[in-house]
Copies of this chain bind each other. A is one copy, B any other.
Amino acid sequence: MRGLLCLLIPWIPWTRAEDSAMEEIATEKEAEESHRQDSVSLLTFILLLTLTILTIWLFKHRRARFLHETGLAMIYGLIVGVILRYGTPSTSTYDKAISCSPEQRAFTTLLVTFDPEVFFNILLPPIIFHAGYSLKKRHFFRNIGSILAYAFFGTAVSCFIIGNLMYGVVKLMKLVGQLNGKFFYTDCLLFGAIISATDPVTVLAIFNELHADVDLYALLFGESVLNDAVAIVLSSSIMAYQPTGENSHTFDAAAFFKSVGVFVGIFSGSFIMGVCTGISTALVTKFTKLHCFPLLETALFFLLSWSTFLLAEACGFTGVVAVLFCGITQAHYTYNNLSPESRNRTKQLFEVLHFLAENFIFSYMGLALFTFQKHVFSPIFIVGAFIAVFVGRAAHVYPLSFFLNLGRRHKIGWNLQHMMMFSGLRGAMAFALSIRDTASYAHQMMFSTTLLIVFFTVWIIGGGTTPMLSWLNIRVGVDPDEDPPDGVIANGSRTKQESAWIFRLWYSFDHKYLKPMLTHSGPPLTSTLPSWCSLVARCFTSPRVYNNPEQLREDDTDFIFNDGDLTLTYGDTTITANATTSLDGRRTKSSSEEALERELGGDYEITNRGTRLVFPLEENA
Contact = CB atoms under 8 A, between A and B. Distances in A.
A390 to B, nearest CB: 34
A1 B28 contact: yes
Nearest to A13: B3
B12 A38 contact: yes
Contact of A26 (B1, B61, B355): B1
Interface string A19-42: 110110010100110111011111
Nearest to A98: B17
Interface string A115-155: 10110001100000000000000000000000000000000
A40 B314 contact: yes
B12 A114 contact: yes
Give 9 closest A-B pairs by Cβ, nearest first: A3-B13, A10-B10, A1-B31, A39-B314, A13-B115, A11-B122, A39-B310, A5-B38, A15-B113
B22 A8 contact: no
Interface string A337-362: 00000001100110110011000100
Nearest to A117: B13
Contacts of A40: 310, 314
27 contacts: A4-B35, A5-B38, A6-B13, A7-B13, A8-B35, A10-B11, A11-B118, A11-B122, A12-B41, A13-B114, A13-B115, A13-B118, A16-B109, A35-B313, A39-B313, A46-B304, A49-B299, A54-B284, A56-B296, A57-B296, A60-B292, A295-B355, A298-B348, A299-B356, A302-B352, A344-B344, A345-B352
Which secondary structure dominates where chain A touches chain B? helix
Contacts of A14: 34, 38, 109, 113
A594 interface: no
A236 to B, nearest CB: 12
A511 B274 CA distance: 53
A539 interface: no
A79 interface: no
Interface in A257-312: 284, 288-290, 292-293, 295-296, 298-300, 302-304, 306-307, 310-311
A610 interface: no
Contacts of A22: 18
Contacts of A18: 22
A53 interface: yes
Contact of A352 (B13, B57, B295): B295
Interface string A471-512: 000000000000000000000000000000000000000000
A304 to B, nearest CB: 7
A477 to B, nearest CB: 20
Q: How many copies does the complex hold?
A: 2
B1 A23 contact: yes
Nearest to A304: B50
Contact of A11 (B43, B123, B298): B123
A35 B296 contact: no
Given A39-B310, A39-B313, 12 more contacts: A1-B26, A2-B23, A2-B26, A8-B42, A16-B109, A35-B313, A47-B307, A50-B304, A53-B299, A57-B290, A60-B293, A60-B296
Given A36-B313, A38-B9, A352-B298, A306 B46 contact: yes
A118 B352 contact: no
A110 interface: yes
A399 interface: no
Contacts of A15: 2-3, 113, 115
A316 interface: yes
